[in-house]
Structures are given as C-alpha cells and as structure tokens.
Amino acid sequence: MTLAPIDFATPDTEALKAFTGCVVAFADTAPDTAARSLDRLTRGAVKRALASDAWEKLKPGEGLHLAFPAGLQAEALQLIRLPRRARPEDLRKAGALIGARLSSNGALLLAGALRKPSPLVEGLAMRAYRYAVKAEAPKPHGTVTIACVDPEATRAACAEALSLAEAVHFTRDLVNEPANILTTTEFATRLEAMREMGLDVEVLDEAAMERLGMRALLAVGQGSESPSKTVVMRWHGNGDAPPLALVGKGVVFDTGGISIKPAAGMEEMVMDMGGAGVVAGTMRALAARKAPANVVGLVGLVENMPDGRAQRPGDVVRSMKGDTIEVINTDAEGRLVLADVLWYAQETFQPAAVIDLATLTGAIIIALGNENAGVFANDDALADAFLKAAVEVGEGAWRMPLGDAYDKQIKSRVADMKNVGGRAAGSVTAAQFLARFIKEGTPWMHLDIAGVTMLSKDSAFAPKGATGWGVRALDALVRARFEG
C-alpha cells in the first residue's frame, strides 16, 4: 500500500519543457493561461485539440490523450475538460483519469487555475492503485507534481484527501490479499499495528469469546486451523459521548463449509472479509485526521472451512444474546458472525448507533448489480444521512425494505430462528436475521456490500479487484452526524 508520490510546486516553464512524463492541462471552451503557454510550446496543438469534434463531445472531467507531443520532452499530453467552477465530482473524475494513466515517469499538472484541487487529488490518488504478488514487482508510479500558485497552501488543503485515499488503499490491500497470507492472525496483527495512529486496539481470542458466549461466531470457524478472533478498535475524539459502532464481517475465506460452494469462482471468496476491511479502513481514516468523534470498530475474524470439526446443516447454536439458531446452510455464515459481534458491541459500548457491513448475500447482486450497496435500516434519519454522504462522495447505495412479513421466512421448527429463509428476498431475510440482534431503540443500519466490494473490471476510481467502497462514505457520515 503506497500512494503515488505527490508534490506541489510553483509553475516553471523550463521544468515543463524538460519534463518526460505526462503533462496535464485543463480547459473548457477556451484555453486558460497555462494552456495557452502549452499551446505555444506545442506549436498550436492545444488550440487544434480544443477546436476538434472530439473535444466538443467531452463531458466535464473527461479528456484527450496525445502521445509524444511536438515541442515537449513529455511522453504524453493530457487535456482535460473542466469548467472554471468545476463540481467536486467532476474534479474527482478528472483526477481518476490522470491516475489511470499514471506511469513510472510521473505527471506534471498545470493546476494554477483550479480553485479547489483537493477532490482532483483525491480522485488521482484513489485511481493510482496497484496490487500484485509477483516475483518482479511492477515499476512504481512516478511523482505527480502539481504546479499551482501557492504550493504550501495547496498541500495543506489536500492533506486530508490524501490520508483518506491512503485509508482506502489499506482496505483494498486487505481485500485483495490471498487467504494464505491474510489469515485471521495476520489480519489481527495488521489492525494491532494501528495503535501507532492513536487507536486503542483489543483482540479477543477464542477463550475470551467462549466465556462471553459468542457460540454463533465460534461455530463458523471451528472447522478451520486459523483461530477465530474479534478485534475491537476505539477512537476517542469527543469526550464521553456515546460512540458510533461500526461492525464488520471478516470471513477471511469462505468455502461455504459443509454446504460447500461450487469450485468455479471460489477463489473470489478472499473478499468475504470486505466488511471488516471497510471498518478497518474507516477507523484508519478517522485516526489519521484526528476526527472529533467517538467511534468503535469491531470485526469478527473467522475462516469457514469443511472439516471433521466443522458445523453441519441441522446444528443448533446459541448466540451471545441467548437466542438459538438452526443452521440450515453453513454458507450463510456471515450473519452468525455478525450476530455475536453486534450484541457484544451494544452490551459493551452502549453506542449511539450501530452500522454493520458485510459481503452478506449473492441476492443483493441480483437486486442491485455492482453499482449500489444495499441499505437496510430501522432508523430513517440514519439511513438518509448515509445515503446523502454516499451521494456526496460518489459511492452508490440504495435503500431496501424491512418488515415483519419477511421475518416469517426465518422461523425455525426447533430453534428461535433459522439462518436462511429461502431464495425469495434473500438479502432482506438476511437483514431481518441481523435485526433480531439489535436492541430496542438502537438506531441501526446494515450495508450489504457483496456487489460493490470487488469488481471484475476497472471502475472509475479503482482498477479491477478490491474497490474500498464505503470508507469515504462512512467518513463523510461521521463528519456530518457524529462529530462534536
């Protein structure tokens, strides 16, 4: 996890002439001062580009890429269309366009006319991400130099955007890691390292969870050689105010257990700890910016494996709350993990609100595809605030229903409930299951992120693989609703 190096400097014509990476300029219907200077150096190439039909068709944040422009040493010239008062989403889009093409030779951005470059820098840093486990590592990204009027002021204005991008990269690294590398123990170790950032981190081992009665969680991991753990991360930034609790599903690999998954595509289940990854990244972002809020992040870390000791379909387990659960399908394991961690969070911290995140159901992908996470909530104000935050940062989310009629689908003949309710409304019945572990009067929101956590193709702000969806939206929610 390494951000592309970003520097800030005053405009320098000689440096521009000698630069060998990608030169980036911004314009709308006419070139600004920097673009006019660039036009002279490139013998009119900029004006010709701005007069083209291709430029006319561009939307804000989109651009033209000119390879090896005459008059410059640069390997490329990027011309990006931005109005003078560009919206934050257009600036982020422009930054992502730069980040997607960033090479080892770096980039020089002629950004003197940009009023608020922070969203652009955020988009660039978000998109310029790589993950690979190879003998020969790819060449690192070159330095991005942002030429602007006041470099130090611009650096300060962009600092939080860069720390937020770093937190997203941290989450992506966790989600992308193979399960033989990111075991439950290694995951916990990486979270413990965040004590250096000012977070209080506690790790509950299996013996501690057994004493607490967290048998639903422990049953999921009992077929694995990797020990189950619950990690608690606390950020104290607002005195004695009750905290927001963030709870993440951390199944480091999910075979489905005895109800084993088909072989095709099973390798993607390295991402089944995506909820825990987002919680960890959000806690990192809050600590990095010293957020004036109280937030506790809790992640249940398990591995779901088939084994002679693994739980079976038909088993009945008792949760920390005391409710019994009939296990109909061992591949519906994430809700068992969350049930105990949700109850522990409420019993221990008496939170002002609870938000859980999980790659919980394939059904949410059928409903919403890869564009939106499913939002389930018992509190309209909390859901509305999150949806607003998600729109502000450009992360897709869509409100889904809850209701007693769905609850009937998880009635059990032999226990208080069963862990699946059939194919119909599968993501809703999973949320109804979790709702049984939320105390009366506690604002709660469940985010089913199965469709947005890892993509099979590049997206606007991430290459193929882990997206880090949710870190930025949760950070924005904390800013808007939970800071003192």
What whole-number distance in Å separates Cα of residue 307 and Cα of residue 46? 65
Angle between helical axes of 274-288 and 151-176 (0-180°, round to 10): 160
Radius of gyration of the chain measured on its C-alpha atoms: 24
261, two tokens:
């998954």
Q: By C-alpha distance, which of 43, 75, 79 is closest to 60?
A: 79
What whole-number distance in Å separates Cα of residue 474 and Cα of residue 247? 12
Alpha helices by DSSP H, 238-395: 274-288, 334-349, 363-368, 380-393
**DSSP conformational letter for 478:** I
238, two tokens:
């607002």
394, two tokens:
């450009």
Strands (E), 29-87: 63-67, 76-81
104 Cβ contact partners less than 8 Å away, ≥ 6 residues apart: 139, 140, 141, 142
What whole-number distance in Å separates Cα of residue 427 and Cα of residue 399? 12
Give the active site residues.
261, 335
The amino acid occupying position 79 is L
What whole-number distance in Å separates Cα of residue 214 and Cα of residue 225? 18
What whole-number distance in Å separates Cα of residue 207 and Cα of residue 221? 13
The amino acid occupying position 320 is M
What whole-number distance in Å separates Cα of residue 225 and Cα of residue 222? 8
